[in-house]
Amino acid sequence: MSDTIICLDSLTKSYGEVEAVRDLSFEIRRGEIFGFLGANGAGKTTTMRMLCGFVKPTAGGATINGLDVWRQRRIARAKFGYMAQKFSLYPDLTVLENLRFFSGAYRVRPNEMPKRIERLLRQMDLEEKRDVPAGSLSGGMRQLLALGCALVHEPPLLFLDEPTSGLDPVHRQQMWDLLYDLGNSGITIFVTTHYMDEAERCTEVGFLHTGRLLAKASPRRLKETFKARLLELDIKPVMAALVRLRETPGILGVSLRSGSLRLYAPDAERLLDHWKGNWPFPELTLQDWRWAEPDMEDVFTAYSQGYTEMLKPSERS
């Protein structure tokens, strides 16, 4: 059996003159937790809906387990579970009734249905909510129920469209703990998100920007693509400094991180050496400085804003 479970080949979707997804080509291996990251409107959901056979590609194609996602979509759908971005279950049905309904829709054998449902109720921490209408659940509980319904037929692949959007930190962590357990059991997970910190939780990450794939690798490998150092400054007043530094030659961008300013510059060492001898901003007070390690937000900023001077040439998109 091939190690590849999902294969995209020049996958494209246009709506009139607008290209929502542009020429995507990559593969996802079995057992990965693949994070598909990008801002709202980047094309993440459109890509997922094409892979699930809900939307017909304009050009190119994709396969799941060797099955064409459009021409063989009815067969392919049995190979994955899908959790939509918005709550898409039946609010008037109870938790138990929703699980039973989706068990039937996925053609789970009647003799296997009860034990699967009981296992999912325990796994999703919904045993005490089994007789509660889905529409009256909290946001976190609704997401857990939706995940349970997507898993009821024990698929080898899960598509999760922003499963933690709108959740509080406790339920976000609970959701990711469940995803780790599922990944450890051998299920491949394709998850979209716009939270950069969630990229750190994935085994592999793809960055999407205006429908194009900017980069795809493990989080560690992506952070290693930086060749320029990231300089953090403690300056007062901080907001005035942020505006002033953004206008300074040699600086590509500035972000505010925990009260400090992080500079995106091709040669931050030269800037710092110059500032140590001649601080050019008399209205600002430099209190401290340090070198910072890049995180996934820095990676996405560099790729999406075109800060190619900061990246290794072989790694640029």
pLDDT per position as a tens digit, 292-316: 999 999 998 999 899 999 998 754 4
Residue 253 is part of a domain; what is its CATH number?
3.30.70
Same domain as 192, residue 81: yes
Same domain as 247, residue 145: no
Query: Which residue is associated with the tokens 């976000």?
Result: 172
| 238 vs 36: CA distance, rounded Å | 33
Beta-carbon contacts of 177 under 8 Å, excluding residues fewer than 6 positions away, are none
Coil, strand or helix at 315 = helix
pLDDT per position as a tens digit, 69-81: 999 999 999 899 9
Same domain as 235, residue 89: no
Angle at 76 between CA 73 and CA 81, to 5 degrees: 110
Provide the residue-wise pLDDT of the chain in tens; the chain has 317 residues: 579 999 999 999 999 999 999 999 999 999 999 999 988 889 999 999 999 999 999 999 999 999 999 999 999 998 999 998 877 789 999 999 999 999 998 899 999 999 999 999 998 989 999 999 999 998 888 989 999 999 999 999 999 998 888 788 888 888 898 899 999 889 999 999 888 888 899 999 999 999 999 999 999 999 999 999 999 999 999 999 999 999 999 999 999 999 999 999 999 999 999 999 899 999 999 999 999 999 999 998 999 899 999 998 754 44
Q: What pLDDT score was predicted for residue 1?
A: 52
* 18 alpha carbon, distance to own chain's centre: 23
Q: What pLDDT score was predicted for residue 175?
A: 87
CA dihedral 51, 54, 58, 59 (to 10 degrees): 30
Same domain as 192, residue 105: yes
Range of the domain at 38: 4-217
* 268 alpha carbon, distance to own chain's centre: 30
Residue 209 is part of a domain; what is its CATH number?
3.40.50.300
* Inside any domain, residue 31: yes
Coil, strand or helix at 253 = strand
Same domain as 210, residue 254: no
Alpha helices in the chain (DSSP H): 44-51, 73-76, 95-105, 113-123, 139-151, 169-184, 196-199, 219-223, 238-246, 268-277, 296-304
C-beta of residue 61 within 8 angstroms of C-beta of residue 69: yes
β-strand partners of 238: none
* Inside any domain, residue 225: no
Work out the widest C-alpha separation in the chain, in whole angstroms: 78
Same domain as 209, residue 114: yes
Q: What pLDDT score was predicted for residue 317?
A: 44
| 216 vs 35: CA distance, rounded Å | 10
C-beta of residue 228 within 8 angstroms of C-beta of residue 268: yes
Q: Whole-model pTM? A: 0.88
Instruction: Provide the domain count of the chain.
Output: 2
SS (H, E, C) 28-89: EECCCEEEEECCCCCCHHHHHHHHCCCCCCCEEEEEECCEECCCCHHHHHHHEEEECCCCCC
**Single-letter amino acid code for the residue at 280:** P
| 171 vs 158: CA distance, rounded Å | 19
User: Of 182, 217, 252, at which residue does a domain stop?
Assistant: 217
C-beta of residue 181 within 8 angstroms of C-beta of residue 151: no
Residue 176 has, within 13 A of its CA and on its CB side, a CA count of 21
Same domain as 190, residue 286: no
* Inside any domain, residue 222: no
